[in-house]
Amino acid sequence: MTSVGLQECLLVGAVLFVAGILCMVTKRNAIGILMGSELVLNGANVNFVAFAYFHDLFNIEGQIFALFTIVMAAAEAAIALAIVLNFYNNHVTVDVDAAEDLKG
């Protein structure tokens, strides 16, 4: 078995990304969809840190972009949970299929 390189790390990132996309697609619970988006952001973060590790020129950029992504994810989780709570107050469910108020 060869030593672990960039491609193995990118494989882990790709698996996380696809799992997040599938989670967003198949869950009907709004909080499950939120978990899927966290998985997608984590996959992107793994790629950033992998590039930071395997190339000297990127090892500040990769880590700093990963930090920015984490902050963005925290902000996104806070605002999305607030929206989900509002949705629950109005519809008494978290099923996203119930969000059809704008249907003509």
Partner 1 sequence: MSFADFLFWIVALWTGLSAVMVVVTQNIVRAALWLLFTLAGTAGLFFLLGADFVGAVQLLVYVGGILILLVFGVMLTAQGPFVNLRAGAGEWAVSIVVGLLLLGLLVSAFLMTDWRFLPAQPPDPAHSRYVNDLGLALLGSRDATPPGTLPGAPGPEPAERSRVAYLLPFEIVSVHLLVVLIGAAYLARARRRRGART
Residues 41-70 that bind partner 1 (CB under 8 A): 42, 45-46, 49-50, 52-57, 59-64, 66-68, 70
Q: How far is the CB of 43 from partner 1 (least distance, A)?
A: 8
**Are 81 and 34 within 8 A, CB to CB?**
yes
- Of 92 and 103, nearer to partner 1 (C-beta) is 92
3-state secondary structure 2-70: CCCCHHHHHHHHHHHHHHHHHHHHHCCEHHHHHHHHHHHHHHHHHHHHHHHHHCHHHCCHHHHHHHHHH
* Distance from C-alpha of 71 to C-alpha of 99, rounded to nearest angstrom: 28
> Per this entry, what is the length of the chain?
104
Q: How far is the CB of 20 from partner 1 (least distance, A)?
A: 7
Q: How far is the CB of 2 from partner 1 (least distance, A)?
A: 9
99 binds partner 1 (CB under 8 A): no
Q: How far is the CB of 45 from partner 1 (least distance, A)?
A: 7
Applying CB under 8 A, among 3, 100, 101, 104 the residue interacting with partner 1 is: 3
